[in-house]
Structure 1
Amino acid sequence: MKPAASLLAFTTLSGLGLGLLVFLSLGLPPVSGWGAFAFFAISFLLAGGGLSISALHLGRPERALKAFREWRTSWLSREAWASVTALGLTGLYALPLLFDGPRLWPIGILAAAACIATVMCTGSIYAALRAVPRWHHWSTPAMFVAYAVTGGALLAGQVTMAMALLAATGIAQFLAWRTGDARVARRFGTRNTATGLHGHVRLFERPHTGENYVTEEMVFVVARKHATKLRSIALVLAFALPLVLLALPFSHLLGVAAVLSHAAGVVVARWLFFAEAEHVVGLYYGR
């Protein structure tokens, strides 16, 4: 599928912001006063900004509010409700801290759970698509949550936890790519399986001569050699380099560099997430 800039920004920024809110809602770090204001402002800008950018990918952004209606059947609608709940609860939790007030632990725990639920709903939107074998798996929402929590630990300055999460998520991403390749090879099929015909089936003519939404969005192919190179870049930037930087004697400059490197790697991984998503409709366009 064609990677849209709005989706790259949405999934990267909202994941980092919601991941940071998870740690802040659990008192990590135990900020208050101006420190709390700075941390929560950053997290709300990332999470809120990312969620707002997602509306740019809608064909009719002015109808975004209608997404709240279908929560019984739509993961997109559930994501909308979960995000509003998460931001509302974290706002209630943060308010007393801005004035050096008490920590409302019950609200904080609920807020952290709502943030994780929001990220899970985002991943489940893609996992629900049976026509994209690479996405249609439980590992898709699991990786979304892993990325969010890892980025949140980095932003929250939880060095030891961040190092463990970086190593675990990096390994999990490598395995997710491998298992995704296997699912595509096993389940994608050929023009023979798509048509039910035997022998050598070839495309006589494309379904139509002009370009449309399907050909622009769904029939996007990234060369295997480029995908392999980009996977290596994503692993180095998102996980290996931040691990090395955190292993050095701590300084704020190195911490910022680790966060920026991780964010850049996440963007590359997200680009691949969409670019490598082979939709079965590609069989009818000479894939």
Structure 2
Amino acid sequence: MHPAPSVILFSSLSGLGFGLLAWLGIGLPAVTGWVAFVFFALAYLLAVGGLIASTFHLGHPERALKAFTQWRSSWLSREAWASVAALLTMAAYGAGLVFYDMRLWPLGLLGAALSLLTVLTTAMIYTQMKTVPRWHSVMTPLNFLSLSIAGGAVLAGQVTAAMVLLVLAGAVQIATWWRGDRALAASGSDIATATRLGDKGSVRAFEPPHTGSNYLLREFVYQIGRKHALKLRVIAITLMVLLPLLLLLSPVFHHLAAALAVLSHAAGVLTSRWLFFAQAEHVVGIYYGKR
């Protein structure tokens, strides 16, 4: 799939933002007043900024509000409703903390659940696509949720929990890559099934369906060499998990180390999410002889 920057930013930043909101919803860190305002402002900048970035991938961004009408059949619509519900609930909860030094636990817990539900609905947009075997797996929502919760822990300053969750998120990420590399072959899709000529005998492509590029090739067929993919995976795991762990374990300059851990983790998530799209083999590529 074409790794569009807007979708990469959306899925990465919103995941981190809603992950932080989930931690704030359960009362971690236990902040009030202006300190709470800073945490909530950061969470909203990431969550809302990511959602805004997603609209730039739409052919008609002005029609984005129509997404809310298709909640019965569309995970994108469900994501829109879940995100609005989470942001409004957490806004009410945050107002109690910032202005009244009051923790409304029911609102906080509901907001935390809705924040994680938003991340799940984002993941399900991709998980539901049977035409992309690499995505069509329980590993996709596990990957999105584990990174969101771990990233939220880093942002929330929950050092011990963050270290454990980073290791778990890294393990899920590696398992997602391992399963994904075998997904297309395991799906049974090939040139015979793509052309529906398998019952006629052995099928091979004589010429490509088109002499030039087209929308399908631009959006659904993107190829990256295995050598480059391996390098980027090492970079992603290093930035996303290993370097933040070392920084969080640092005995000196705690605040600076924590800030660098956040930046490193975010860079690693962006790299991982670029690979998520760049390595997604849409079965239409088989029809064009690209797989």
- What's the TM-score bracket when you normalise by the shorter of the two chains? over 0.9
Which residue does the alignment assign to 2:92? 92
**Could you say which residue in structure 1 is the equivalent of 2:275?**
272
2:248 is equivalent to residue 242 of structure 1: no
Query: Structure 1 counterpart of 2:79, which letter?
Result: E
Runs of 5+ consecutive residues of structure 2 not aligned to the other structure:
none
Residue type matched to 2:197 in 1? G
Whether contact under 8 Å (2:9, 2:50) holds in the other structure is yes
Instruction: Identify the match of residue 201 of structure 1 among 200, 203, 206.
Output: 203
Q: For residue 20 of structure 2, what is the aligned residue in structure 1?
A: 20
How far residue 182 of structure 1 moved from its aligned partner, in angstroms, is 2.0
For structure 1, the 5+ residue unaligned runs are none
CA contact (8 A) 2:142 2:172 kept: no
Aligned partner of 1:218: which letter? Answer: F
Query: Scaled by the length of structure 1, what TM-score is found?
Result: 0.97
1:54 aligns with 2:57: no
Q: Using the alignment, how far apart are the partners of 1:267 and 1:56 within structure 2? A: 17
CA shift at 1:203, angstroms? 1.9
Q: Distance in 1 between matches of 2:189 and 2:227?
A: 22
Partner of 1:122: 122
Letter of the 2:67 counterpart: A
Contact 1:188/1:280 (<8 A) preserved: no
Runs of 4+ in 1 over 3 A off after TM superposition: none
Name the amino acid aligned to 1:196.
L
Deviation at 1:199, TM superposition (A): 5.4
Q: Counterparts of 1:168 and 1:208 in 2: how far apart (Å)?
A: 45
Q: Is the Cα–Cα contact under 8 Å of residues 197 and 203 in structure 2 kept in the other structure?
A: no
Which residue identity does 2:224 align to in structure 1? V
- Aligned ranges 1:182-201 → 2 under 5 Å: 182-194=182-194, 195-197=196-198, 200-201=202-203
1:253 matched to 2:243: no
1:222 to 221, 224, 249: 224
Q: Is the Cα–Cα contact under 8 Å of residues 129 and 136 in structure 1 kept in the other structure? A: yes
Residues 127-160 of structure 1 deviation map (CA, whole Å, 9 limit, x = unaligned): 0000000000111112111111111000000000
Q: How does 1:149-160 map to 2 (within 5 A)?
A: 149-160=149-160
Equivalent residue number for residue 5 of structure 1: 5
Instruction: Give 1:201 deviation, angstroms.
Output: 2.8
Q: What is the percentage of aligned positions where both structures have the same residue?
A: 55
1:284 is matched with which residue?
Answer: 287
**Tell me, what secondary structure is at the counterpart of 1:257?**
helix
Deviation of the 1:205 alpha carbon: 2.4
**Per-residue Cα deviation, 1:44-102 (whole angstroms, up to 9, x for no partner):** 01101100110111111111111001101100000000000000000000001112421
Aligned length: 287
Contact in 2 for aligned 1:25/1:111 (Cα 8 Å):
yes
**RMSD across aligned positions (CA):** 1.2
The answer as to whether partners of 1:237 and 1:261 remain within 8 angstroms in 2 is yes
